[in-house]
Amino acid sequence: MAQGASAVAQKGGESLLFLTDEQLRKGIEAMFFAYRGFTADPDRILEEHGYGRAHHRAIHFIHRAPGTTVNNLLSILGVTKQSLNRVLRALVEDGLVEARVGHRDKRERHLYLTESGAALEQQLSDAQRERMRAAYRAAGPVAVAGFRQVLEAMMDPEIRRHFDRLTESGR
């Protein structure tokens, strides 16, 4: 199976990869179809609770960086504050997220998951991790390392910074 990477030529220490349009197209389609699988399980759970992906993203990153400000979340998610606000308001009203007014700067709202917010986060990430774990197991450790490398290379540099920042603090 797999047409793999086509050819590699070493030339003065610089490796050249010859990639056909067809191979790249397959990669693009793989990305498209895999993303559908990636979101499928959380989507099902969210629907039961009357939420959408926007809520999931907010919950995920609040869990990941508790006490984050709205503005920080905004730059991670890459949406407008009006858009985020609508989602956040629903989560606060439903008691999944707590927005504490900053003590240093009272304009800021620091966001935390409540107990039930954490419970939903757990449920969502359990489902998503399970799919990820299965895929990782099926593909093997070498493939996983490659997977991560390609994904990181695919990010916009600015977004890559967010990603790396989450990693540092998250370990």
Q: Which residues bind its own copies (CB under 8 A)?
A: 2-6, 8, 15, 17, 19, 21-22, 24-38, 40, 57, 60, 64, 78, 125, 128-129, 131-156, 159-160, 162-163, 166-167, 170-171
Q: Which amino acid is at 71?
A: N
Residue 31's binding partner among DNA, its own copies, none (Cβ under 5 to 8 angstroms by kind) is its own copies
Three-state DSSP class for residue 29:
helix
Burial class (CB in 10 A: 0-12, 13-18, 19+), 113: buried
Nearest approach, Cβ of residue 97 and its own copies (Å): 19
Burial class (CB in 10 A: 0-12, 13-18, 19+), 79: middle
Look-up: residue for tokens 């998250």? Answer: 170
The answer to whether 100 and 110 have CB atoms below 8 angstroms apart is yes
Query: Mask 68-107, x = binds DNA (CB under 7 A)?
Result: -xxx--x---xxxxxxxxxxxx---------x--x-xxxx
- Residue 55 binds DNA (CB under 7 A): yes
Give Cβ neighbours of residue 23 (< 8 Å, ≥ 6 apart): 3, 5, 6
| Binding-site member from 4, 50, 157, 170 for DNA (CB under 7 A) | 50
Nearer to its own copies, 43 or 94 (CB): 43
Nearer to DNA, 41 or 108 (CB): 108
CA 63 to CA 60: how far, in whole Å? 5
Nearest approach, Cβ of residue 30 and DNA (Å): 19
Interface residues with DNA (CB under 7 A)? 50-55, 69-71, 74, 78-89, 99, 102, 104-109
